[in-house]
Amino acid sequence: MENIYERIRSLRVSMNMTLKELSEKTGLSISFLSQVERGNSSLAITSLQKIADVFNVSMSSFFESTVSNSFFTPVVDRKPFQIERSNSVFTRLGGDFSGKVLEPIHIVLAPRQGQDVVFNHPGEEFYYILKGKVLMMVGDKEYEMNEGDTIHFPSMLDHTWHNMTDEPVHMIAVLTPIIFHE
């Protein structure tokens, strides 16, 4: 199975794209992209998203390689993963099939963990807090969320989260568009 760096290179080569072209489309330097493809530099989630957008693939396509057309996901088959420079742990909960629209994910935020950037993109997001407390910022409002609380919003609004406690936060997110699918 290819690692993330090999996957980026193979996608670029398969699209007959030079490092210079990828650099121009992502705003990332040629030298940085070259180092990434050789595995000599790590990627921030924002840089990985820029590359995924250029290749018109989801970010998870860099982590997982096959679609199994399965609808049931037993707990033993779930594979937690992390994004570079993030202490958050993500676990896909949904089926694995072509054409799916929703992305259900279990997210664990480490104590004192927050997102470094504010996101906005087309789609919707829904969060259910399973355990812990999290501060969600959506648009110009802050929401202190506790166990059992939910929030659902259009993801075109600026949004971010922060675990301000000394305990991990467990939450379920259901997202569109799919970010972490094959």
Tell me the pLDDT band of 83, cut-offs 50, 70 and 90: confident
In a domain, 85, yes or no: yes
Higher pLDDT, 153 or 99: 153
Task: For residue 17, give its domain range.
Answer: 4-62
What's the rounded Cα separation, in Å, for the pair 23 and 56? 15
Same domain, residue pair 10 and 47: yes
Burial of 135 (0-12, 13-18, 19+ CB in 10 A): middle
Kindly report, residue by residue over 149-169, the tens digit of the pLDDT. Answer: 999 999 999 999 999 999 999
Higher pLDDT, 173 or 177: 173
Q: In what helix (H) or strand (E) does residue 30 lie, and over which residues does it extend? A: helix 30-37
Same domain, residue pair 79 and 56: no
Tell me the pLDDT band of 96, cut-offs 50, 70 and 90: confident
Amino acid, single-letter form, for residue 18: T
Length of the chain: 182
Q: What is the CATH number of the domain that holds 88?
A: 2.60.120.10
Beta pairing partners, 142: 137
Same domain, residue pair 89 and 24: no
